Amino acid sequence: MNRRGIPDLWIVGPAFAERARGRISMAGQMSMLDRNDGTSWMNRDNEVVAHLRVAADELDFVTVEAGRESQYAYLSLVPGENRYFLLHTGGDAVFPSAVTGSTIRVVYERNAATYEFLSVVTERMEGGKLSVAFPQFIERRERRASRRVDVRRGAPVQLCTDRGAELTVFDLSTSGLGIVADRSQTRQLMSDGIRGVLALTDDLRINVWLDVRHSRKLAGSDQMFVGARFLGLSGRELSALRNFIEGRLAADQMS
């Protein structure tokens, strides 16, 4: 406990130590998936504090997840403090799952990238302020340049691999797609890549070859979100894919 009454994440309590080890483990696993493809990591010693100081000045809000709840908040730093920062959620009754000792996930967009990290609430203060330990790692992912459509609603899109797996497509663009898989499938996909048939509709199927670019755990689930890039699509396949995406986007706007 420091002089402000805030637990020191790095030296006290088995619960804090366990969560810290969990974050390090998860970050280490995901860091191993980094293939110099637009996904990168900042570590606490070199860049995290400096990055969050700039982000606090530039961002209007971040998204915070704790358990099954999510909440918008704004971020501020305490001058001279390099162990924790503050998230302002908007009131004492807001975001009750973010209690002292809970693990939270913070996501935000800045410039052309999406940033994400896990940390621990070291104290829940009055007025809905959360004191949060500086994370050890921040993941940075470049956003896709092409338009992306969420295909979870309406008729599902399936990816049937040459190994017999049937994977649910989460979102889709002309450059790549996101799928949902379990942990064992994710390890295999990262190792072998993906070859198979993308079933856009009952009558429209495309043979695809994809390179897996990144993976992360879905909040509140044991499943993984896997992002992959198309390799070697023909002009005809690309045109069919683009027409399908534009059709789904138009339908979404009308609904």
Whichever domain contains 218, its CATH number is 2.40.10.220
Which burial class, exposed, middle or buried, applies to 25 when counting CB atoms under 10 A from its CB (0-12, 13-18, 19+)?
exposed
pLDDT-wise least confident of 23-37, 47-61, 76-90, 168-182: 23-37
Domain boundary among 142, 169, 193: 142
CA angle 17, 107, 158 (to 5 degrees): 110
What mean pLDDT is predicted for residues 104-128? 87
CATH for 135: 2.30.110.10
Structural domain contains residue 2: no
Q: Which of 28-32, 89-93, 153-157 has the lowest mean pLDDT?
A: 28-32
| Confidence check: pLDDT of 36 > 60 | no
* H-state helical runs in the chain: 14-32, 49-58, 183-192, 235-254
| Residue 182 predicted with pLDDT over 70 | yes
Number of separate domains in the chain = 2
Instruction: Let me know if residue 5 belongs to a domain.
Output: no
Q: How many Å is the maximal CA-CA distance in the chain?
A: 67
Please indicate whether residue 2 or residue 69 has the higher confidence score (pLDDT). Answer: 69
Q: Are residues 113 and 173 in the same domain?
A: no
What global pTM score does this model have?
0.47
Question: Does residue 124 carry a pLDDT above 50?
Answer: yes
Say whether pLDDT at 109 is over 60. Answer: yes
What pLDDT is attached to residue 86? Answer: 95
Secondary structure class of 179 (helix, strand, coil): strand
Q: Is position 224 within any domain?
A: yes
Give a yes or no: residue 9 inside a domain: no
Q: Domain of 168? A: 148-254
The whole-number pLDDT of residue 219 equals: 65
Handedness of CA 42, 84, 109, 144 (dihedral sign): positive
Q: With contact defined as beta carbons under 8 Å apart, do 243 and 251 qualify?
A: no
Given a cut of 90, whether residue 87 has pLDDT beyond it is yes
Contacts of 245 (CB under 8 A, 6+ apart): 147, 149, 172, 173, 174
The verdict on 137 and 154 lying in the same domain is: no
Quote the mean pLDDT of the chain. Answer: 78
pLDDT, one tens digit per residue, over 208-237 is 999 888 888 776 667 888 888 888 888 889
Q: Are residues 101 and 174 in the same domain?
A: no
User: What is the average per-residue pLDDT within 231-254?
Assistant: 86
Considering 111, 142, 173, which residue would you say is the last residue of a domain? 142
Q: Same domain for 159 and 249?
A: yes
Name the domain boundary from 118, 142, 166: 142
Of 10-24, 50-64, 139-153, 221-235, the poorest mean pLDDT is in 10-24
Nearest to 233 by CA among 176, 151, 172: 176
How would you class 135 by CB atoms within 10 Å of its CB: exposed for 0-12, middle for 13-18, buried for 19 or more?
buried
Please report, for residues 65, 75, 79, 104, 113, the alpha-carbon distance to residue 108 in angstroms, rounded to integers and kept in the order given. Answer: 12, 11, 22, 13, 9
Integer Cα distance of 185 and 240 in angstroms: 28
